[in-house]
Structure 1
Amino acid sequence: MTEIQRVLLRDLLTESQNGLSKRSGDEGEATAVLRLADISSGAIDETAPRDILLTSKEVRKYTLRPGDLVCIRVNGSKSLVGRVIPFRSTRKWAYCDHFIRFRPRQDVVDSLYLAHYFQTEAVRRYVELNMVSSAGQNTVSQGTMLDVPVPLLSLADQRLVVAEIDKQFSRLDEAVANLHRVKSNLKRYKTSVLREGAQGRLLGDAQSFECSTFADAGFDLPAGWTWTRVGDIGRLQLGRQRSPKYHAGPDMRPYLRVQNVFEDRIDLSDVMEMNFSHADVSRFALQPGDILLNEGQSPEFLGRPAIYRGELPGACFTNTLIRFQAHTCVVPEFALIVFRHYMHSGRFAKESNITTNIAHLSLGRLSNVEFALPPVPEQQRIVAEVDRRLSIVREVEAEVDANLRRAQGLRQAILAKAFSGAHA
């Protein structure tokens, strides 16, 4: 391998150019204009391009060519700024001003060699040190990117480096894809465990089944179970509405809102406070065993439930959440299983009202939702079995996530080895 030199990116390009600023045109040629929305998993997604009428001058100036590199110039996520995507499409694309185009000198540098180098930790640190953040947006200038130092080998050795990285990445990508398949299978298994628990088919006991009295329930009840409704087996209540008049006062208390309630988990990383009078505390203070459900969410997460177990003493809740307090005929953990099943199956979504892309679950509609109720001892057995099975799922998920993190570390190790000149 030839000796490694370090040269600035600007010396390896025939040109660099920020993108097109206009968002519409009145005349010219309809041309697909690359946006941030067209970038997916480090590549250009050509499924839904947006065309803009461009003049012939604009087409000449902003059209991408195979071998060009497209650099993300501005984004709300720091981790995306400075990322470089090789342009490989045969379709005609221009690009908007969220990007910088780099056109490598093909007689000096391989564009894929540069693309791989821009994934390294060294370049990421350089970009993060030199980006500017304002009003929630992070920006790196063209001049800053042109000053990135690049380890330069002969073209032949660059191509050897690219080939070795691609070979190693291909193996790693296959392993990562397998891990994601495992995660998908675990998700399906978890959904099936919740469904079978809610419908009385989990324990494997020899059971007879009785004809369903709910035509749209989709299953018959096990013997000894009864149909009821959510409003008949527990108390439902919306939390208190937020208001500027509660932002300060003598009785400030923490409260939970939709951002704190995830599936089977209360997140206390972002807890806010407001003033609650003594009367309001008596109405809205949370008690261990309360189930909190998201009142407003995207449809697939509507009704997302978790049990409050006293994690935040003295906490109240807002009207972005619905509280369910189980009567003695229901074990709260069993109600949680049913509610989680209803979220995953879309049963809550069927009861929603949609406003501005947000689904809402009213107290009245939730109160009327059917609920298959087994005897309390059977509820307790189902809760124990669901917990046993899902604890195994959690352990496997944790191991999969750890392996995915290790895969990212391996990706950086492959790049570091390649660009130190120590590729095999």
Structure 2
Amino acid sequence: MGELPEGWVTASLGDLAETALGKMLDKKKCVDAPMRLYLRNVNVQWGRIDVDDLFEMSIPADELDRFSVRKGDLLVCEGGEIGRCAIWERDEEIAYQKALHRVRAFSLLVPRYLRYYLEYAARTGALAGFVTGSTIKHLPQQSLREVPVPLPPLAEQRRIVEALEEQLSRLDAGTVLLEAARLRGAVLQKQLTKDVISGRRRTTEEVGDADELLSLVDAQVAHMAGKKRWAQIRDPEAIWTHELPSGWRWRTLGSLCVDIQYGTSAKTALKEGGSDVPVIRMGNIQDGRLDLGDLKYLPAEHIDIKKTLLRDGDLLFNRTNSAELVGKSAVYSERMGAAVYASYLIRCRFAEGVESDWVNAVVNSDFGRRYIASVVTQQVGQANVNSAKMALMPIPVPPQPEQRTALKVLRDWEAALARPQLAARVALKRSKGLRSAILRSAFSGELAPQDPGDEPADTLLARIAAERESAKPARRAKRAAARPRKRAAALPSKPAPAPTSTPSTPSTTVQQELFQ
């Protein structure tokens, strides 16, 4: 952070606050323990705690205080978006899961100051050096305690928080309006797509008939796909169909394809030679389009190039991903240059007369997403949809001229909505940059005025250390009281030994002290 302002010091977080991890979920519920609501990682967002979706777990009474959050406690995400944090502002206490750190600041540290500093540290990457794990990142408790925190005087902490909240509240209000505008555009696009692919919004006054088209499609599929299983089932399940406009027909996706094929599982690498062929992977499918900004390659002579080389109009379907992203699709265009595709994708090559972009619009619509969600399977944290289930997806088929007219309407609307959408995204990006600048100003001592009369932070730190030390005996006593006591083992009954002295004469030192 550079040189600190005069009167500030740097201290580790563990010197300024008590930290504790929440309760690990038990596979077996404790029968005698009552069920308690608890907070998870997902409930803790930046600056707020969402209590609309709470789970329950059993917590014995003697563990409740240990795994509870009280008003003023700061909760910090141990995984996921590392460092994401918020303060529990409610009067009632609540339990919390092990995926969260509870940070209980000592009385001379303002909790909201620490909350904003952790956001600043997360935004600038200052927390990255304290994170462990190569694939799944974690912030261990000991590492959290070692995070350095710039500590100003107590009065200045309060001034910084006040100045931050005044400026950030205005910024947040503008961000809310921008985000609402962005979402409105996305909702309008979704609704329009839904109306067009369902036939509620006819895009042409001419009423044709898809039967002639489908006869040609069937002939092509029979010739090129032969007796492939996915090509034989033409009618979708009735539960997925609804009334279509005159001349439209329902068909399964597979019955419209002359070929359905999995991609290459060969190991890809960065480009090494001019003839290397790009491999489109699941991450390249973004919002119904192919984003070729991040590519890996195969050598041009690789054995898989010929069988996985893409053609203009091929639809690529993402068969494995997270539950939110599995089943997304995009259409390849020959304008993108030669390319092949990876094994987590499925290529669908349609018969002539079927517009790939039309099918792509159906797959990525709310209707398509609902179908995919109904057939998805979960394996080791990944969602999967195989080619057989994908081939049964219901597709409404208009005559080809109406497919093209509908696609033009969708593209025109998308272009019209793209301008305000882009403006909103640019403004949101600037908003993030401005927020980072405000936080940087706060923790470099430039946002709030400094007062030479404030108690210096080194004195404050010494007082916090004294408070921490004085709290140790109380914590030990509290833990000891919460520990279940072991009952003494019953001794076999024996006759009492005969006294070695008269009752009036104490026979041991202890007795003598007691009787004095």
CA distance in 1, matches of 2:69, 2:332: 54
Q: CA deviation at 1:331?
A: 3.4
Q: CA deviation at 1:326?
A: 3.0
CA contact (8 A) 2:280 2:295 kept: no
Cα 1:219–1:192 change in 2 (3 A) is farther
> Structure 1 counterpart of 2:117, which letter?
Y
- Pair 1:265 & 2:270 matched: no
Per the alignment, residue 454 of structure 2 pairs with none
Of Structure 1 and Structure 2, the greater strand share is in 1
Unaligned runs of 5+ in 2: 212-234, 268-274, 450-516
Structure 1 position 390, deviation (Å)? 0.9
> Does 2:391 align with 1:366?
yes
After TM superposition, list the pairs within 5 Å mapping 1:1-400 onto structure 2: 5-9=7-11, 15-20=17-22, 23-24=25-26, 34-46=39-51, 47-54=53-60, 56=62, 58-72=63-77, 74-75=78-79, 77=81, 80-81=82-83, 83-95=84-96, 98-106=99-107, 108-120=108-120, 124-128=124-128, 130-136=129-135, 137-139=137-139, 141-145=143-147, 147-154=148-155, 158-199=157-198, 205-206=204-205, 217-222=241-246, 230-240=253-263, 242=265, 255-268=279-292, 269-271=294-296, 273=298, 281-296=305-320, 301=325, 303-310=327-334, 313-318=337-342, 320-341=344-365, 344=368, 346-349=370-373, 352=375, 354-356=377-379, 358-363=383-388, 366=391, 369-376=394-401, 378-400=402-424
Distance 1:302 1:15 in 2: 42
Q: C-alpha distance in 1, partners of 2:249/2:64? A: 69
Question: 2:219 corresponds to which residue?
Answer: none
Amino acid at match of 2:7: Q
Q: Structure 1 residues 354, 51: CA separation in 2 closer, same or farther (over 3 Å shift)? A: closer
Q: How many residues align?
A: 402
Distance 1:291 1:409 in 2: 37
**For 2:14 and 2:366, how far apart are their aligned partners in 1?**
57
What SS is found at the alignment partner of 1:5? coil
CA distance in 1, matches of 2:171, 2:255: 53
Partner AA of 1:412 in structure 2: S
CA contact (8 A) 1:238 1:319 kept: no
Structure 1 residues 189 and 361: alpha-carbon distance in aligned structure 2, compared to 1, 3 A threshold? farther
What residue number does 2:427 align with? Answer: 403
Alpha-carbon distance in 1 for matches of 2:93, 2:208: 62
Question: 1:68, 1:104 within 8 Å by CA — same for their partners in 2?
Answer: yes
Give the distance between the partners of 1:401 and 1:48, measured in 2 at CA: 32
Partner Cα distance (1:383, 1:123) in 2: 41
Letter in 2 for 1:177: V
SS at match of 2:349: strand
Shift of 1:405: 1.5
Q: Choose 1 or 2 for highest CA Rg.
A: 2
Contact 2:13 2:146 in 1 (8 A): no
- Secondary structure, counterpart of 1:391 in structure 2: helix
Contact 2:45 2:86 in 1 (8 A): no
Aligned residue identity for 1:86: I
Partner of 2:438, secondary structure, is: helix
Residues in 2 aligned to 1:160 and 1:33: alpha-carbon distance in whole angstroms: 33
Distance 1:204 1:42, change over 3 A: same
Q: Measure the CA separation in 1 of the matches of 2:318 and 2:13.
A: 55
Cα displacement (A) at 1:15:
4.6
SS in 2 for 1:120: helix
Superimposed CA distance per residue, residues 68-101 of structure 1 (whole angstroms, 9 cap, x where no aligned partner): 33344x4254xx23x4432323333455555554
Structure 2 distance, partners of 1:345, 1:71, is 34
CA distance in 2, matches of 1:368, 1:11: 54
Does the 8 Å CA contact 1:240/1:284 hold for their aligned counterparts?
Answer: yes
| Counterpart Cα distance in 2 of 1:22 and 1:197 | 49
Once the two structures are TM-superposed, the CA of residue 306 in structure 1 deviates from its matched residue by 1.0
Q: CA deviation at 1:321?
A: 3.0
Counterpart code for 1:127 = L
Give per-residue Cα distances to partners, 1:93-141, cap 9 Å, x unaligned.
Answer: 45555555443343x343223323333359945433x414334334362
Determine what percentage of the aligned residue pairs are the same residue. Answer: 20
Which amino acid in structure 2 is aligned with residue 51 of structure 1? M
TM norm structure 1 = 0.75
TM-score, normalised to structure 2, is 0.63
What is the Cα deviation at residue 38 of structure 1?
A: 3.6
Query: Partners of 1:32 and 1:160 in 2: how far apart?
Result: 35
Report the alpha carbon displacement of residue 289 of structure 1 after superposing the two structures with TM: 1.8
Cα distance in 2 between the residues matched to 1:160 and 1:337: 53
Choose 314-323 or 8-17, whichever is displaced more.
8-17
State the one-letter code of the partner of 2:151: V
Question: How far has the Cα of 1:6 moved from its partner?
Answer: 0.8
Instruction: Find the residue that maps to 2:91 and give its secondary structure.
Output: coil
Does the aligned pair in 2 maintain the 1:35–1:98 contact within 8 Å? yes
Rounded to whole Å, the distance in 2 between the matches of 1:416 and 1:65 is 30
Separation of aligned partners in 1, 2:55 and 2:448:
38
Aligned to 1:247: none
Amino acid at match of 2:113: Y
